[in-house]
């Protein structure tokens, strides 16, 4: 009897416990600070940060270091940090970074934004901005790797598609150009925008349209070696649509000097904290300095940007920007820190390493250089190639005041003197003028080595000579693409094999579609 009462009591307690556990269960186990659905504006802001962070290499591993060295802006005596200028075979995994970072970050984030706004006609501007930014992000990615997951990318979270097919780069370009065209035409100034969540244009639809057509012009010119007729058609459409030609319309990302790391200029942050934080010119953790090719060129043309971007440390914390003492380090230094390491030039903390500096996404200078080429090809008659080239050089020299403020400002007199001393040689051949335009572009786009790398592969300019460093992976040649991550072999093997069969070996010297 006592046993029965004991069991009954236990059952009663269990029932009471079950009742109290289920009562208010949902309320008590729901985070009051969480949201049940993503807020598109917040996710779009994050996608802007991640898109620029991965483009410059901060979140995308060592891509920025790699390409700044490859474009011979920088180098290092350290073989690991110096991979980009030395192509050391043991360090090829550094080329995986941008691929690994982009898909879980900005590509996935933009998919979330687009899904959230695409069905609401009132949110057409939000959709258009997300589509345009998605093209920017994908264009940087495909230009590094060639064929990549595109049409099925970012569908793991949305549709449980975890093994996306790789699209051919030719098809990717066709779709990106169509996306830019459709997005630009859909923008409507009378409808809502992302407003302050849009860090680039604060919701200005007219400026987003100019950015879309400027990207269209960039991508159109990429195709000049593989489909000249299509390149002309899209370039003409972009120019007619209206590209960025005024400083006020430049696409740029603003940053802060303090706060969370994501709010600071990602390129400056990476350079500063990885190599130059000691501020003594000697204790550089990664052994980085400007490369002699870069400094020598700026000195040979009396470029007023040299003292803006470059310093030599005369003592800890004390820099000298005098042009005469600037000196680049050779890229073929093997293993050992040179005894005169402190005498070599490195990035200026007040400009290139400024955490609150603006990062340029697309500038008027780039538009003018592309328009110069269009004029040389007979695709644009709105001005002469010489006049457009001059406008491009002037705009490029002004860019540093937009990037770094007063410490980056070059006086009008210095700008005019440089322009007068470096006019376009209109008596030269088409190739000679192309060399002048895109060597100047190489100077103007710094520190955006990603875009310099694409321009170099398409045009061949500037005429850089590869570094035949001991143990390099390319036979001393500048590599033509980045490698797919090794993890793709196990995670998405069948689709990776199909891409390689179509494009060519997963090799640093395999040319992507438009690089013929």
Instruction: For residues 95-110, give the mean pLDDT.
Output: 95
pLDDT of residue 19: 46
Token pair for residue 52?
Answer: 């620029």
Concatenated DSSP letters of 412-425: HHHHHHHHHHS---
Instruction: For residues 76-84, give the mean pLDDT.
Output: 90
Token pair for residue 269?
Answer: 């942050």
Domain ranges of the chain: 37-203+466-511, 278-347
Helices and strands: H and E segment counts in the chain: 22, 9
Answer whether 84's CB lies under 8 Å from 70's CB: yes
Residue pLDDT, tens place only, 475-485: 999 999 999 99
List phi, psi (to 5°) of 391: -65, -35
Closest CA to 259 of 355, 361, 403, 360: 355
Instruction: Kindly tell me the sign of the dihedral angle through the C-alpha atoms of 218, 220, 222, 228.
Output: negative
- 37-203+466-511 is classed CATH 1.25.40.390: yes
Instruction: End-to-end CA distance of the chain: give it in Å, rounded.
Output: 93
**Half-sphere exposure of residue 21, counting CA atoms within 13 Å on the CB side?**
6
Closest CA to 469 of 348, 357, 330: 330
β partners of residue 315: 318
Instruction: For residues 244-253, give the mean pLDDT.
Output: 98
- Proportion of the chain above pLDDT 70, given as a percent: 91
Query: Could you tell me the pLDDT band of residue 74, with boundaries at 50, 70 and 90?
Result: very high
Please check the confidence at residue 264 and state whether its pLDDT lies above 60. yes
Residue pLDDT, tens place only, 150-167: 999 988 877 889 999 999
How far is Cα 152 from Cα 188, in angstroms, rounded to an integer? Answer: 29
pLDDT of residue 306: 98
How far is Cα 331 from Cα 485, in angstroms, rounded to an integer? Answer: 26
Please check the confidence at residue 8 and state whether its pLDDT lies above 90. no
How far is Cα 283 from Cα 296, in angstroms, rounded to an integer? Answer: 24
Please check the confidence at residue 81 and state whether its pLDDT lies above 70. yes
pLDDT of residue 157: 78
Token pair for residue 105?
Answer: 């970050």
Residue pLDDT, tens place only, 287-299: 999 999 999 999 9
- Proportion of the chain above pLDDT 90, given as a percent: 86
Please check the confidence at residue 86 and state whether its pLDDT lies above 70. yes
Query: Could you tell me the pLDDT band of residue 63, with boundaries at 50, 70 and 90?
Result: confident
List phi, psi (to 5°) of 347: -60, 140
pLDDT of residue 335: 83
Instruction: Name the strand (E) or helix (H) holding 346.
Output: strand 346-347
Please check the confidence at residue 52 and state whether its pLDDT lies above 80. yes
Whether the bond between 442 and the residue before it is cis, its omega within 30 degrees of 0, is no
Taking all residues of the chain, what is their mean pLDDT, rounded to a whole number? 92
pLDDT of residue 79: 87
pLDDT of residue 56: 54
Residue pLDDT, tens place only, 117-144: 999 999 999 999 999 999 999 999 999 9
Residue pLDDT, tens place only, 183-200: 999 999 999 999 999 999
Residue pLDDT, tens place only, 371-394: 999 999 999 999 999 999 999 999
């Amino acid at each position: 009897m006592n046993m029965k009462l004991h069991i009954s009591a236990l059952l009663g307690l269990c029932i009471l416990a079950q009742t109290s556990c289920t009562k208010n269960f949902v309320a008590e186990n729901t985070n009051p600070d969480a949201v049940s659905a993503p807020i598109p504006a917040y996710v779009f802001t994050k996608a802007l940060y991640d898109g620029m962070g991965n483009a410059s290499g901060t979140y995308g591993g060592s891509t920025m270091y790699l390409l700044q060295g490859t474009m011979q802006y920088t180098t290092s005596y350290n073989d690991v940090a110096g991979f980009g200028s030395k192509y050391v075979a043991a360090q090829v995994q550094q080329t995986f970074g941008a691929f690994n970072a982009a898909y879980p970050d900005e590509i996935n984030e933009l998919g979330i934004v687009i899904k959230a706004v695409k069905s609401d006609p009132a949110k057409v501007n939000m959709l258009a901005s997300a589509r345009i930014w998605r093209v920017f992000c994908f264009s940087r990615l495909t230009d590094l790797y060639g064929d990549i997951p595109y049409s099925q990318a970012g569908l793991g979270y949305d549709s449980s598609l975890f093994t996306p097919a790789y699209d051919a780069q030719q098809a990717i370009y066709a779709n990106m150009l169509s996306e830019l065209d459709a997005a630009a035409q859909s923008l409507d100034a009378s409808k809502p925008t992302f407003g302050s969540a849009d860090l680039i244009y604060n919701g200005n639809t007219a400026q987003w349209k100019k950015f879309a057509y400027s990207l269209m012009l960039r991508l159109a010119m990429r195709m000049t070696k593989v489909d000249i007729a299509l390149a002309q058609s899209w370039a003409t459409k972009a120019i007619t649509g209206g590209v960025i030609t005024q400083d006020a319309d430049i696409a740029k990302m603003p940053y802060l000097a303090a706060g969370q790391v994501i709010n600071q200029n990602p390129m400056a942050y990476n350079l500063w904290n990885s190599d130059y934080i000691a501020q003594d010119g000697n204790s550089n953790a990664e052994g980085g300095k400007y490369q002699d090719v870069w400094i020598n060129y700026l000195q040979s043309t009396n470029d007023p940007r040299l003292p803006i971007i470059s310093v030599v440390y005369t003592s800890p914390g004390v820099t000298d920007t005098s042009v005469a003492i600037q000196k680049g380090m050779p890229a073929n230094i093997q293993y050992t820190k040179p005894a005169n390491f402190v005498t070599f030039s490195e990035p200026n903390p007040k400009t290139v390493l400024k955490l609150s500096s603006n990062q340029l996404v697309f500038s008027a200078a780039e538009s003018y250089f592309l328009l110069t080429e269009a004029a040389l090809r007979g695709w644009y008659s709105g001005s002469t190639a010489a006049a457009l080239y001059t406008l491009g050089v002037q705009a490029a020299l002004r860019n540093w005041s937009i990037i770094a403020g007063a410490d980056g400002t070059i006086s009008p007199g210095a700008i005019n003197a440089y322009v007068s001393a470096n006019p376009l040689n209109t008596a030269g051949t088409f190739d000679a003028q192309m060399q002048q335009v895109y060597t100047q572009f190489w100077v103007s786009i710094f520190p955006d080595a990603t875009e310099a790398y694409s321009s170099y592969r398409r045009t061949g300019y500037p005429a850089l000579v590869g570094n035949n460093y001991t143990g390099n992976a390319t036979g001393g040649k500048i590599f033509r693409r980045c490698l797919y991550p090794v993890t793709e072999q196990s995670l998405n093997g069948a689709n990776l094999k199909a891409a390689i069969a179509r494009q060519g070996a997963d090799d640093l010297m395999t040319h992507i579609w438009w690089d013929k």
